[in-house]
Amino acid sequence: MNRETRRVTVAGVDLVSVAGDITTEAVDAVVNAANEHLRHGGGVAGAISRRGGPTIQEESLRVAPVPTGSAKATGAGRLPCRHVIHAVGPVWRGGHAGEDDLLASAARSALQVASDLGCRTVSMPAISSGIYGFPVERAARILVETAAAFVRDHPGPGGPLREVRFCNLDSDTARRFDAVLAGIAQNSGAHDPPPRSRQHDGTP
């Protein structure tokens, strides 16, 4: 079972760090860390494609290519969600090739697609931090801050999103997201609700 490790409320929307397997998240949409051609070979993309079945790859090829910094949606096959949103983050090139802006754009695009689809709950991995080499702590900060900015611009009472989850199998990566969420709560006026008494099963 996936385990919540931090929850912060920003503009009526919960931002949540989760330690666990994104392919088991029972949400409206999961975000896939994809390449531009949407060929899902390894990492998070491979796991999503394998668990969801061949229809995800088949649909992906019909909507590809997707430029870096953008996102497109497909069905979710056998996954316990309704949509897979394929977000293309940048390859890390040392931090001087616009990587930060491209990663923020990929996350923002994924959340906009989710919002356009009417999703209330979305779960996102640490995009670009795997084989693309983006430093994990830096990626966590950009992804959380981008989500916080997005929900402030699309507050809960006026938009469909109610929860954005950052789900990572690696416990160290999850802790990086915990730390960024703690900073968001402390420094930006976000509300940090009390811990839940049980593990969250991801049900919308």
Q: For the segment 152-182, what is each residue's pLDDT rounded down to a tens digit? A: 998 655 578 999 999 999 999 999 999 999 9
Going from N- to C-terminal start, the domains of the chain cover 3-187
Q: What is the pLDDT of residues 32-59, one digit of tens each?
A: 999 999 999 989 999 999 999 999 999 9
Q: What is the dihedral of CA 183, 189, 191, 195, to 10 degrees?
A: 30
Classify each residue of 37-71 as buried b or exposed e, where b means 16 or more C-beta atoms within 10 Å of its C-beta: ebebeebbbebbbebbeeebbebbeeebebebbbb
pTM exceeds cut of 0.85: yes
Confidence of residue 186 (pLDDT cuts 50, 70, 90): confident
Is 89 in contact with 33 (CB distance < 8 Å)?
Answer: yes
Amino acid at position 139, single letter? A
Homologous superfamily (CATH) of 3-187 is Leucine Aminopeptidase, subunit E, domain 1 (3.40.220.10)
- For 70-112, how does the pLDDT look when each residue is reduced to its tens digit (9 = 90+)? 999 999 999 999 999 999 999 999 999 999 999 999 999 999 9
Enumerate the H helices of the chain as residue ranges.
43-52, 54-63, 99-116, 136-153, 171-187
